[in-house]
Structure 1
Amino acid sequence: MSQHPISRIRYKYKEIVLVLLLSSILCLTRSRAQYANYQPQAEVGFGLGTSHYFGDLNPEGSLNPMNYSAGLFYQRYLGNYIGARLSANYIHLAASDADNKAPAYHNRGLDFTNNVLELTLTGSFNFFRYAPGTRGHSFTPYVGLGIGGIYTDPYTETGQGEKVSLRKLGTEGQYSSTPHDGRKYGSFAIIFPLSVGVRQALSTKLNLFAEATYRFTRTDYLDDVSSTYAGPEAFAPGNYKGNAAEAASALALQDRNLDGVARKRGWQRGNSLASDRYLTLQIGLSFNFGSCNCPMVY
């Protein structure tokens, strides 16, 4: 028995609808895969922000005084989640006992400034899949951990505005033949940066980020303060290894008390049990380049 013409039309209509539906699904899936697979291969960026010192001249760990920092970085992506980053930063650190309300610290009368130059290598991990320009994958919090080195040279200013390098004077008796607790330190130190941040893609090429980075250091002399007073005898002729002018400057700067009580050898000057640390809070922009349609890991 031959099929009714109307039935044949209905059957063909169903076939056409099914083919169109399957084709649409295939096209959408292919389009989504191409769109989702977009990711940059690398990025370069810069950040500006604040810097905060924690050490013997800020024993309470206050965020004040607030100073400034600036940095550049290059990051190579190893996928949507992992990256390797090389960073260079300029970090201005400073603190003064004059800002401390506790009499014991205020009367100590010490201060320092340090223009730290920093180079670090870190690995970063995105908590969310990050593919700039892809809906649902343009934002992520991230963390980073690495190792680096800094150039450090703490100094103070005299009443005439002259900058005096404290490291070269050995204010804790480093260049004296008398007994002392101060340790010699150089202009280079190792640090371990720990970063926490958020990144938002503004487009496939441009990102906005905010980042906090805390540095654990292997030095207690970012501020030139660590152990005990060496005493006036450490800077006397015959005991001090520098010239007369350096000896006089070291003697004046090792004890800058405001209460008129001269500190004797062995009196506590700083806390040698804890290394100095510092923090930066920065916001900035980064630029993606070398984009590719790389497979995403689901």
Structure 2
Amino acid sequence: MMKLMQKLWILVWCTMISITTTYGQTIGLHPVSQTSASLSSYPVYGMYAHQSLDQESAKALLNKPFRPHFSIGISTGFMHYKGDVYSKLKVGPGLSYGASLYLHFTPWLKARASVAIGSISGNDSESADLDQQAQNLNFRNRIQELSLLAEWDFFPWLPEKPSKFAAFIFTGFTFFKHNPQSFNAFSVTYLNLRNLHTEGQVPSNYSLTSTAIPIGIGGRYRFAKRWTVSLQAGIRFTLTDYIDDVGKGAYPSADALPNALSIQYANRSMESRPGLDQLIASRGVVTYTDSDGSVYTTLKGFEPGTSRGRVAGNDRYFLFQLTISTYFGKIPRLLPN
């Protein structure tokens, strides 16, 4: 999965650069003597040249420079997670908000720096899959991310015939902070799962900061002279497998864990809940004795040494956003959005 993701990311970058370079030559790089006939060889410009631009206005358009400029936006939306714990797509609990600063280089290409804060969660008890129900893990995680992105519009927006709609793709790098937690019914609080070393990661442990490769698509609509609204959907291919506290490790034996709370949250297959009797009848149980003589019972398939992570590859999360953005300062001569 990681190799495929990296190839896709490189392909998107190369496509954006090559197409932007090719079409970017149509603005400000042609001699004034170029005719509207040659202009029509470009699909977007040619359409306007035949419909509404005479030869002189076409020449002026070709030589009109693009002034790089800034715009800002605020966003709201929701996050969704895919990993080792079952997650149902729900809008409410994962609401996110954020802000973006755009630097428009050309009518096609812009750089974007974005911050976003949102929540993800997972709960095996909500799954219809019996193996997932038997695992019986749950978590929540607050994601705080900073993304540095390149955003490419499929078509430029011309000042003489400004389009109100546009579609775009984006990719780049994301840096994020997270902290997986689980609910403690006894104290009615949430516990930081990393502190419990649930896979026996003693003394080493996973980091609460990581990076991701974002890839996404979107569309925007200009509803006023300076204002646009956009919808976008992106996936973050993270470089960690622990945003749900479940990684590539195995279920540890009790003596590999630091305390009783860690033992309780490392393996929750025998936790009292509706349907446990049916799971015991269908799967069976395994009883083992720890080094200190303590006896433990677990559902079959969750005994020490079996894999704790049940999905190959690192975790992923999705970010769906509605953004309102505006220019500040002088309106540019060519408006990409």
What is the match of residue 291 of structure 1?
330
The residue that corresponds to 1:231 in the other structure is 253
Match of 2:260 among 248, 251, 258: 248
Q: Distance in 1 between matches of 2:306 and 2:324?
A: 49
Secondary structure of the equivalent of 1:167?
helix
**Taking structure 1 as reference, are residues 249 and 43 closer, same or farther at Cα in structure 2, changes over 3 Å only?**
same
Deviation string, structure 1 residues 110-149 (Cα, Å, up to 9, x no partner):
0000001000100110111135x75343321001110021
User: Larger RCO: Structure 1 or Structure 2 (Cα < 8 Å, ≥ 6 residues apart)?
Assistant: 1
2:146 paired with 1:146: no
Secondary structure at 2:132 match in 1: helix
Q: Residues of 2 paired with 1:76 and 1:54: CA distance?
A: 32
Identity %: 24
What residue is the counterpart of 2:304 in the other structure? Answer: 265
Going from structure 1 to structure 2, the CA distance change for 1:218 and 1:293 (only over 3 Å counts) comes to closer
2:319 corresponds, among 251, 272, 280, to 280
Q: 1:206 to 1:293 in 2, by over 3 A?
A: closer
1:190-229 → structure 2 map (5 Å cutoff): 190-226=211-247, 227-229=249-251
Gaps of 5+ in 1: 1-24, 177-182, 241-246
Q: CA offsets, 1:182-205, max 9 Å, x none? A: x72111101111120011112221
Provide the residue aligned with 1:13 in structure 2: none
Assess, with a 3 A threshold, how the Cα gap between structure 1 residues 275 and 121 changes in structure 2: closer, same or farther. same
Counterpart CA distance in 2 for 1:186 and 1:211 is 29
Give the number of the structure whose residues are more often helix, by fraction: 2
* 1:146 alignment partner AA: G
**Structure-2 residue corresponding to 1:45:** 73
Partner of 1:29: 57
1:218 to partner: Cα distance: 0.2
1:114 to 135, 141, 145: 141
Kindly state the Cα deviation for residue 228 of structure 1 after the two structures are TM-superposed. Answer: 1.6
**2:252 alignment partner AA:** A
User: How far, CA to CA, are the matches of 1:196 and 1:51 in structure 2?
Assistant: 15
Contact kept in structure 2, 1:47 and 1:70, CA below 8 Å: yes
Equivalence for 1:81: 108
Partner AA of 1:270 in structure 2? G
> Which amino acid letter does the alignment assign opposite residue 229 of structure 1?
Y
Q: Is the 8 A contact 2:145 2:176 kept in 1?
A: yes
**Do the aligned partners of residues 96 and 251 (structure 1) sit closer, same or farther apart at CA in structure 2, a change above 3 Å counting?**
same
Q: Deviations over 1:153-189 (max 9, x none)?
A: 100110032111001211000016xxxxxx7211110
Q: Provide the secondary structure at the position in 2 that maps to 1:113.
A: strand
Which letter maps to 1:44? I
Letter in 1 for 2:251: Y
Quick one: distance in 1 between partners of 2:118 and 2:54? Answer: 54
- Equivalenced residues, count: 252
Using the alignment, how far apart are the partners of 2:183 and 2:335 within structure 1? Answer: 56
Which residue in 2 is equivalent to 1:99? 126
Counterpart selection for 1:56 from 84, 89, 114: 84
Aligned residue type for 2:264: A
Amino acid at match of 1:68: L
TM-score w.r.t. the length of structure 2 is: 0.68
Distance 1:102 1:73 in 2: 39
Residue 196 of structure 2 aligns with which residue?
169
**Cα distance between partner residues in 1 of 2:160 and 2:310:** 51
Greater gyration radius: 1
Aligned partner (choices 70, 79, 83) of residue 97 of structure 2: 70
Distance across 2 between alignment mates of 1:138 and 1:289: 19
Mapped to 2, the partners of 1:51 and 1:295 lie a distance apart of 34
Contact kept, 8 Å, 2:98 with 2:114, in 1: the verdict is: yes
- In 1, distance between residues paired with 2:335 and 2:182? 53
Deviation of 1:91 (Å): 1.8
- Give the TM-score normalised by the residue count of structure 1: 0.76
1:130 aligns with 2:157: yes
Q: Distance in 2 between matches of 1:168 and 1:215?
A: 25
Give the letter for the 1:232 counterpart: A
Rounded Cα–Cα distance in structure 2 between residues aligned with 1:71 and 1:118: 9
Conservation of the 8 A alpha-carbon contact between 1:45 and 1:287 = yes
User: Which deviations, in whole Å up to 9, do the C-alpha atoms of 1:83-108 show, x marking residues without a partner?
Assistant: 01000000200010011111111121
Conserved in 2, the CA contact under 8 Å of 1:37 and 1:296? no
